[in-house]
Chain A
Amino acid sequence: MATSTTFSVEVLTPEGEVFSGDVLQLSTRTVIGEIGVLANHVPVLAALKPNLLRLKVSDSETKVYAQSHGMMQIFANHAQLLLEEAVPPSELDASAIEAEQAEAQAKLDGPEIGDAARKLAQRDLERTSAFLALARGE
């Protein structure tokens, strides 16, 4: 089999490109569950959940990012990840995230919350919980 073992990955956020290069393996989480991607993956269009994004650049080096909600498209041995946020876990500020989480919780607990507002507050809660776990190194 003359297929390549690496594939190109591009991680974009609204604030700029976070990563671009060839990797051996990519691991992340979609709405369905954990996913590991190797070279020559079938085409995928997936919604991503807040999680740790791992990019295995070589056998000895793995880059990690805290990923928020986003989208992933894999096509022609190229993975493109569009993430609202992607930061190294070491740069997360636990106290700021806690404040954000409290705010989302307060919205959920508030009186007369609409359906759409509840869904969005839950989304915030999901993100802040995942980020908080990463910030605390869990």
Chain B
Amino acid sequence: MANRKEVTNQISSVKNIRQITRAMEAVAAARLRKAENRIAQLRPYAQSMRQLTRRAAAQAGSFSHLPILNERENVETLGVLLVTGDRGLAGAFNANIIKEGLNLRDQALDEGKKVIFFVVGRRGDGALTFRKQNVSGSWTGFTDRPAFTNARDIGEDLVAAYIDGHVDRVEVVYNRYVSPLTQYVQNLTLLPVQQAEVVGEGAEDEAAAELEGDLAKAHARASWEYEPDPEDLLAQLIPEYVNISLYRNLLESAASELGARMTAMRSAADNAETMIDDLTLEMNRVRQAEITQEILEVVGGAEALG
């Protein structure tokens, strides 16, 4: 049986762990609220951008000439963008993304394609570099608080890689945020941009469309001034769409990371709690044994004298 000093030390170190994990949980919870807020704040911009794109598209008529919309028949090189976090201690948050990314790679290799990785977050970057994967772009240092400019940097590089033919298709793997307790790994095609997605009716637009009603009719009748002409406007709007959807993915991933960390830290704190209970019991037992031992010694000593 361990001695009392050892058990006391163990208890105090587990108490420290409990305190740290509780604090990390609280920090993650506070940041999570902010991250949720940022997702909400993107919505009006994204919605307006979508309406604007639809209007420009209606004016432009045909726009299938835009390279970013063209599906390539032969996908020789697949680009995979993994959205991970800069830090760990968030349960399986990062591991799930990396696993899914490697699955995608194996699948693509089986089909005879080449694979290029792009990575967001230090964790993913480190994991892929360790596995000696071909990482042709990585962005780190902002995953718990991404700014739109981060998404734009990434978007520009990916769009350029796509149009210039370095990749024939780009998939994004990220943690989709449902609630602080639920996130799941989602896998989306970022490029080419799906024509229907940009100019078609999205579910989130329905409310806005209803509101408009008469205004929309007036809209269609009005004679508009376009600077530049609608075709060129569209050519600028569609890359913007890529940046917006990337930004949303980054925000959701940030919220998921914080949610996962909150949950992981809560269960760590709860485990520490149970451990402290067990150890306290253990300590009492040790103390009791010591007392019994002492009594035996005293009694034995008295008997020997008597």
Contact = CB atoms under 8 A, between A and B. Distances in A.
A1 interface: no
Interface in A12-70: 12-17, 30-32, 42-47, 69
B236 to A, nearest CB: 5
B45 A14 contact: yes
B196 interface: no
B114 interface: no
A82 B223 contact: no
Interface residues of A, number: 32
Given A44-B225, A76-B218, A114-B164, A71 B49 contact: yes
A84 B49 CA distance: 11
A117 interface: yes
A47 B236 contact: yes
Contacts of B159: 116, 120
A47 B67 CA distance: 20
Nearest to B44: A12
A71 B226 CA distance: 11
A111 to B, nearest CB: 13
A138 interface: no
A124 B46 CA distance: 22
A22 to B, nearest CB: 19
A82 B160 contact: no
A13 B225 contact: no
A47 B164 CA distance: 24
**What is the size category of the interface that chain B forms with chain A?**
35 or more
Contacts of B215: 76
A15 B228 contact: no
Contact of B156 (A15, A30, A120): A120
A60 B41 CA distance: 31
B163 A14 contact: no
B33 interface: no
B233 A47 contact: yes
Contacts of B164: 114-117
A90 B223 CA distance: 38
Given A85-B148, A114-B164, A43 B45 contact: no
B52 A82 contact: yes
Nearest to A71: B52
Contact of A45 (B56, B160, B243): B56
5 contacts: A17-B41, A43-B224, A44-B225, A84-B148, A124-B156
Interface of B: 38, 41-42, 44-46, 48-49, 52, 55-56, 67, 147-149, 151-152, 156-157, 159-166, 215, 218-219, 222-228, 230, 232-233, 236-237, 240, 243-244, 247
